[in-house]
Structure 1
Amino acid sequence: MDYIDTKHVAAELKRRLQNAFPGVKFNVRKGTGTGSAWISVYWTDGPSTADVEEHTRPMQGSQFNGMEDRYESTDNTVTVTVKGRKVTGKPLVEGINTHRDVSDDALKAAAALWFEAHDGTEPPTSGMLDACVIDGHVIQENWAPQQMWQIANDVVLPQRWAAAKEQAAAQAARPEHAQEEGAEGLTLKHTDEDGTTVTGTRLGDGAADVLKRHDFKWHRKNQYWYAPGTRHKEADTGFMAAVAADLRAADLAVTTAQPEATPTA
């Protein structure tokens, strides 16, 4: 039986996670010292811990049995590439820790949901908050930062990840020629009916992070990003220019469809 060194397992795990969750940046670290047979996985927002652990469990060679205070073999085997050669063996990994961080943007969205659920009352930044219900989820009584974290973790991030997966599925379902046409870049435009929208984004291209900073939201039905409150209003060309500039700063090609000028007398 061949044994696969922890560092090679960590490299293979990172490759698998990036393939399974495109657009999410994973930091996969091999332990040092007494924890050298352990691996830690870090990421921000994106998939849930349970989703990620579906991919980490098969990479463990042993697991701790608390009842008998000892490690037991999992009988898992993994295939990795070492110096260009495929090697299959038992992973020398006793455990894999997973750590999902919540971004400031997600916490900001959580505070906005709390605001809506409390009739426009600004959420406090300290003190104990009563239990409440946000989008059908019971948020436990807790200190303010912890309650914002629960809202982000239980409501905001699952909704965003579901939208990202829907967007990826819709992109994959498009005819090949249509994908090629859309590969040229994004289109930022304003119409009276739809307001200010951005089309042509792809999962993992970096556009989502930029658009969320400008308070854009993903329209699941129409499959585009839109700026709330801009329908049936005149285009804010300054706002559109700022969005386009930030998208281009993220190395994204953007075509701006300028709104028609209002006729003058």
Structure 2
Amino acid sequence: MDYIDTKHVAAELRNRLKDAFPGVKFSVRKDTGTASAWISVRWTDGPSPAEVEELTRPMQGAQFNGMEDRYESTDNTVTVTVKGRKVTGRPLVNGINTHRDVSDDALKAAAVLWSEAHDATEPPTSGMLDACVIDGHVIQENWAPQQMWQIASDVVLPQRWAAAKEQSAARAARPVNARKEGDEGAQELTLQHTDEDGTTVTGTRLGDGAADVLKRHGFKWHRKNQYWYAPGSRHQQADAAFMDAVAADLRATDLTVTTALPELAPTD
């Protein structure tokens, strides 16, 4: 049986990841030099490494046997498209490395969860932190940055990804005519930042999907003023990157969002 070149396997893997995880941007690269038969896959937030490896594992043609210090065939076969023609063979791939990066937005959400579990105490940015429990997950004693990373990886990202999959399934299940009617009557949300109120979202409706998105970003519901607000954002500078991330996730649920940032004060 023929072997499939590493670059063709990488191209096929990129397509499979795109189909399996819509909306997630993957970097799929063929390594060079002595590792030229290896592929590296990298992405930010989204699915867990285990979910991604369910797709990468069948495309690996060999695996390293540490006991005997050599590569052994996996007997996997893969079908790829080369110059418009379907070709099946053994993947010339000794291994596939996967790495998920954690966004700053997810780390901020992790800090909010840590604070909620410690009587609203602001999380330290350095030093060793004691072990704690966040949403039923045991967070190990570790340095502050590493503990925030674990909270983001074990709590924030799985919750966000589960919600994203539910929303995607719900959109796919909606009849086409229902989607069109919904689009015509869709409300417009306003995401804005003021010194007095901080970062807020107005215009949401019960069941429109905004609540799940905003909760994932750490927003809370203000019953008196009837809007969502980001705790700790009052009398602070607007976080444009945070607001962009929130707006993007709201739009991903088919909601219309207008973003209003405060104007910069003129300089002399």
TM-score w.r.t. structure 2 length? 0.76
Equivalent residues in 2 for 1:167-206, closer than 5 Å: 167-182=167-182, 187-189=187-189, 196-197=203-204
Report the alpha carbon displacement of residue 195 of structure 1 after superposing the two structures with TM: 6.0
Contact 2:188 2:255 in 1 (8 A): no
Report the alpha carbon displacement of residue 67 of structure 1 after superposing the two structures with TM: 1.4
The amino acid across from 1:23 in the alignment is G
Contact 2:109 2:218 in 1 (8 A): no
Q: Which residue of 2 aligns with 1:217?
A: 215
Return closer, same or farther for 1:235/1:117 CA change in 2, 3 Å cut-off: closer
TM-score w.r.t. structure 1 length? 0.76
Contact 1:188 1:199 in 2 (8 A): no
Q: Which residue of 2 aligns with 1:261?
A: none
Q: Which residue of 2 aligns with 1:10?
A: 10
**Alpha-carbon distance in 2 for matches of 1:69, 1:82:** 33
Report the alpha carbon displacement of residue 32 of structure 1 after superposing the two structures with TM: 0.5
Contact 1:45 1:102 in 2 (8 A): yes
Return closer, same or farther for 1:120/1:87 CA change in 2, 3 Å cut-off: same
Q: Which residue of 1 aligns with 2:196?
A: none
Contact 2:77 2:89 in 1 (8 A): yes
Report the alpha carbon displacement of residue 140 of structure 1 after superposing the two structures with TM: 0.4
Q: Which residue of 1 aligns with 2:130?
A: 130
1:165 aligns with 2:172: no
Contact 1:195 1:227 in 2 (8 A): no
Report the alpha carbon displacement of residue 200 of structure 1 after superposing the two structures with TM: 11
Matched residue SS, 1:167:
helix
The amino acid across from 1:196 in the alignment is G
Contact 2:44 2:102 in 1 (8 A): yes
Structure 1, unaligned stretches of length 5 or more?
203-207, 219-224, 237-241, 257-265
Report the alpha carbon displacement of residue 134 of structure 1 after superposing the two structures with TM: 0.4
Contact 2:79 2:88 in 1 (8 A): yes
Report the alpha carbon displacement of residue 43 of structure 1 after superposing the two structures with TM: 0.1
1:85 aligns with 2:85: yes
Contact 1:26 1:42 in 2 (8 A): yes
**Alpha-carbon distance in 2 for matches of 1:154, 1:143:** 16
**Alpha-carbon distance in 1 for matches of 2:116, 2:255:** 35
**Alpha-carbon distance in 2 for matches of 1:87, 1:184:** 46
Return closer, same or farther for 1:91/1:182 CA change in 2, 3 Å cut-off: farther
Report the alpha carbon displacement of residue 180 of structure 1 after superposing the two structures with TM: 3.5
Report the alpha carbon displacement of residue 148 of structure 1 after superposing the two structures with TM: 0.3
Matched residue SS, 2:187:
strand
**Alpha-carbon distance in 1 for matches of 2:126, 2:205:** 37
Q: Which residue of 1 aligns with 2:97?
A: 97
The amino acid across from 1:216 in the alignment is L
The amino acid across from 1:68 in the alignment is E
Return closer, same or farther for 1:131/1:181 CA change in 2, 3 Å cut-off: same
Equivalent residues in 2 for 1:17-32, closer than 5 Å: 17-32=17-32
Return closer, same or farther for 1:170/1:122 CA change in 2, 3 Å cut-off: same
**Alpha-carbon distance in 2 for matches of 1:63, 1:123:** 42
Q: Which residue of 2 aligns with 1:222?
A: none
Q: Which residue of 1 aligns with 2:67?
A: 67
Contact 1:2 1:89 in 2 (8 A): yes
Aligned-residue sequence identity (percent) comes to: 73
The amino acid across from 2:26 in the alignment is F
User: How many residues in Structure 1 have an aligned counterpart in Structure 2?
Assistant: 230
**Alpha-carbon distance in 2 for matches of 1:162, 1:198:** 22
Deviation string 1:99-140 (CA, Å, 9 cap, x unpaired) is 100000000000000000000110000000000000000000
The amino acid across from 1:113 in the alignment is L
